[in-house]
Amino acid sequence: MNSVTLHVKINQKEFQLNGGATLQDAIVLFGATPPFAAAVNTEFVPKSSYLQKRLNSGDEIELISPITGG
């Protein structure tokens, strides 16, 4: 059991995750629904890497939905 708590920001809001959390864990916690793009500390993360991308306390995550319309 990992008792470490990570403090991250998702779209500028504070969240807490368990130590060892991945970007996928943060996306589930936030409740994001596709389609969206994800970046950690301004670095784009491809969807294929969400489960492998480990987070650190202080990380800033942006989940960006495409804008449609005209």
CB 30 within 8 A of CB 39: no
User: Which among 10, 19, 15, 61 has a CA at the least distance from the CA of 40?
Assistant: 61
pTM: 0.91
Read off the pLDDT of residues 28-42 as tens digits, 9 standing for 90 and up.
999 999 999 999 999
Mean of pLDDT over the chain: 94
Does residue 2 surpass a pLDDT of 80?
no
Peptide bond preceding 66: is omega within 30 degrees of 0, i.e. cis? no
Write down all domains in the chain, each with its CATH number in brackets.
5-64 (3.10.20.30)
Average pLDDT of the residues in 48-57: 98
**Band of pLDDT at residue 3, cut at 50, 70 and 90:** confident
**11 in helix, strand or coil?**
coil
Cα dist. 48→13, 20, 30, 37, 45 in Å? 25, 18, 19, 12, 8
